[in-house]
Amino acid sequence: MKISQLSSLKIQFNQIIFANAYELIELLIQHIVSLEHLPLSTGYLSEPSAIDGRHIEINLLSALLNLIDFYFYFRFSYKNQQINSIISSFKNDYWLLKRKQKYYMLCRCLSK
- The predicted model gives 40-59 an average pLDDT of 78
DSSP assigned state of 83: H
Beta pairing class for 11-12 and 102-111: unpaired
Please state the pTM of the whole predicted model.
Answer: 0.76
At 69-108, the pLDDT tens digits run 888 887 776 666 677 888 888 888 888 776 656 777 666 6
**What are the helix (H) ranges across 1-112?**
19-30, 53-59, 80-88, 93
pLDDT of residue 88: 86
**pLDDT beyond 90 at 2:** no
Do the strands 102-111 and 69-78 form a parallel or antiparallel pair, or are they unpaired? parallel
Higher-pLDDT residue of 64, 18: 64
